A and B are shown apart, each in its own frame.
Chain A
Amino acid sequence: MVRRTFWAILGRILFGLAVFLVLAGVLIPYLWMVSGSFKTTLEIQSADVLKPELSPRWFPRKFTWENYLRVNRTVRMLDYFRNSIIISVGTMVFSVGISLFAAYALSRFTFSWKRMYTLAVLSTQMFPGISFLIPYFMMFVLIKHYLGLPMQNTYWGMIFTYTSFALPFSILMLRNFLDSIPREIDEQAQIDGCTPAGALLRVILPLAKPGIAAVGIYSFIMAWNEVLFATVLTGRETKTVALGLLEYITAQQARWAGMMAACILVSIPVLVLFSLMQRYIIEGLVAGATKG
């Protein structure tokens, strides 16, 4: 009996230790980020791992809010925030609107090219961005050249690009969500005289709110985080926060403290939005990896 409780207690301690180690591994970079964001630039610049008295510390020697208050001083971070918000919200709106109709068709209609289209949507998710970046950039150049319509370094160019990136996941996830809403509901609406589009907008839309919110948030986050296309297609007027962060480190100066504060500010919208719809987004992502 005593022996049994001994092993049980030891097991619990080991288990707790394991959980603690996992959490420590996850959280250490965040703690370092937060700690760095409250240090002075001078403290970070003068740190030196070889000198014990200057070794980098977890607690700032001199605690300061400067990095947050002056986030816009060296890097035009507020402009980048505005650009990212415009591009991400635009992407969210268009991606939800477009994917809702496509997902409804996939969920409710039967048509001969359904399987082929679903396969095509699935496979567009597989291609790395670099495999179409060059021709896509050329397309932007040529549209400007022949039609006089600027695409590069414009909000709509970026919104169109990111909407298309967000669509495959959005369509498949919304389709799964709509599949869970009983068909009888839209059949009833159609008996009452709604067209399919009317049934979708008046009856199904309110029921699909959680799915729509999840897709919208996914699209927002995707546009907020994208780096590769942003490096080529954005310019001074449309640069997003993801690229703006890189400006804190130049060949002349490394402003780590400012960068850590900006990192926190950039993460906040993503973390807040994600936690709002966590369950639905995760279900969708897991299904995407396991079912398709």
Chain B
Amino acid sequence: MSSQARGRRAFKFILPALLCMLFVHIIPIFWGAYIAFIDLDIYTITRWMQAPFVGLRNFFTVFSPATDVGVRYLRSIWNVVYFGLITIPAGYFIGLLVALLLNRKFFGRTLVRGLILLPYITPDSVAYNVWRFIFQARIGIVNKYLLALGLIEEPIIWLVGDRAIYAVMIASVWKGWPFACLVLLAGLQSIPQELYEAAKIDGASSFGLFRFVTFPMLRPVSATLLLLSAIWNFHAFNQFYILLGADPGKTHVPSTFILQEAFTNFHFGQGAAMSVFLTVVVLLMTVAILRVRRRGEEW
């Protein structure tokens, strides 16, 4: 079979998947890039070709610290970065500790492994609504126990204001660490036992085993895991939207803020400009992750 005929045969099999990708991912991403350069609102949406072309104005507006939108967008970017800087390492370390814990044999291990997966498989909408209940000021258990321990005098309002982001972080780490644990457990189990035996013969302590065998062997899988988490961090939406509502004031992240700007205030052009920036950031990070992976193959 000629290479052209092979290409055509594969094309027939992949065509439906290609069409889905085309209409849901590729066309919208390029179209979104175009919308970012026009002044599109609710009145011009069906006559989008006549919407005035404004060049880079949308970008200047959303990145300008002098406009209200700009201030809020920049703050939302900072929020999601700050959110990731805390939740990713926290999820990773909890995941690693529990993976080390569960990597030995003990009675009931399968059950424990199944149970720790619960947060990961519980629907976001359920998990974060339950956390919203837990964090309620007057009726929630967080305040109940903080008061009982004497750590606070007054019930704290968790889900509004400056503390809101920390409440979201706690709920997200609770939901996210089992995935890290799962990946790291798989990584731990792929480490050949002989390495440990050889290190023991060389007189390594149990800390030495971790430092010179486990840790280096987990490095590639950790690198991909952390990079992927860093990318997926920009997907953060559900936890903020469910815990804090559609308008969390100063605790917006890009996803919630763009949603509000585009679909409540109908600033589609500015919303698209903000989305394009996110797309570019994610694209750059994806290129980085593919590079790391390729290097990993060469090692």
Interface residues of A (CB under 8 A from B): 15, 18-19, 22-23, 25-27, 29-30, 32-33, 36, 44-45, 47-50, 55-56, 97-99, 101-102, 104-106, 109-114, 117, 119-121, 123-124, 126-139, 141-142, 145, 160-161, 163-165, 167, 171, 196-197, 221, 224-225, 227-228, 231-232, 241-243, 245-246, 249, 256, 259-260, 263, 266-267, 270-271, 274-275, 278, 282, 285-286, 289-290, 292
Contacts and interface: CB of A to CB of B under 8 A. Distances in A.
B86 interface: no
B180 to A, nearest CB: 9
Given A32-B134, A263-B129, A135 B285 contact: no
B126 A266 contact: yes
Given A109-B6, A110-B6, A290-B187, A227 B124 contact: yes
A18 B101 contact: yes
Contact of A55 (B98, B137, B144): B144
A26 B141 contact: no
Given A50-B147, A110-B6, A161-B24, 9 more contacts: A22-B112, A26-B115, A97-B16, A134-B35, A134-B271, A138-B35, A138-B45, A242-B125, A285-B179
11 contacts: A32-B130, A49-B147, A49-B155, A127-B279, A131-B275, A138-B45, A138-B48, A141-B46, A227-B242, A263-B129, A286-B186
B127 interface: yes
Interface residues of B, number: 94
Contacts of B262: 133-134, 137
Q: Pick the 4 closest A-B CB pairs, nearest first.
A: A132-B28, A164-B24, A105-B13, A242-B125
A56 B17 CA distance: 51
Contacts of A121: 21
B10 interface: yes
Given A25-B174, A138-B45, A128 B282 contact: yes
Which has the most chain B C-beta neighbours within 10 Å: A110, A124, A290?
A290
Given A105-B13, A164-B21, A227-B242, A263 B101 contact: no
Interface string B112-140: 10111111011111110111111011111
Given A130-B255, A131-B276, A290-B221, A241 B32 contact: no
Majority secondary structure of chain A interface residues (helix, strand, loop or mixed): helix
Given A47-B139, A102-B17, A111-B7, A29 B127 contact: yes
B112 A23 contact: yes
B124 A165 contact: no
A218 B236 CA distance: 20
A32 B135 CA distance: 12
B144 A49 contact: yes
Contacts of A123: 283, 286
Interface of B: 3, 6-7, 9-11, 13-14, 16-17, 20-21, 23-25, 27-29, 31-32, 35, 45-46, 48, 98, 101, 106, 112, 114-119, 121-127, 129-134, 136-141, 143-144, 147, 155, 174, 178-179, 182-183, 186-187, 221, 224-225, 228, 231, 234-235, 237-238, 241-242, 254-255, 258-259, 262-263, 268, 271-272, 275-276, 278-279, 282-283, 285-286, 290, 293
B146 to A, nearest CB: 9
A5 to B, nearest CB: 18
B20 A49 contact: no
A148 B275 CA distance: 28
A130 B275 contact: yes
A167 B17 contact: yes
A136 B24 contact: yes
A139 B29 CA distance: 12
A5 B11 CA distance: 67
Contact of B31 (A139, A145, A249): A139
Nearest to A266: B126
A49 B140 contact: yes
A243 B128 CA distance: 12
Contacts of B122: 267, 270-271
A272 to B, nearest CB: 11
B225 to A, nearest CB: 6
A44 B25 contact: no
Given A29-B127, A134-B32, A232-B259, A126 B282 contact: yes
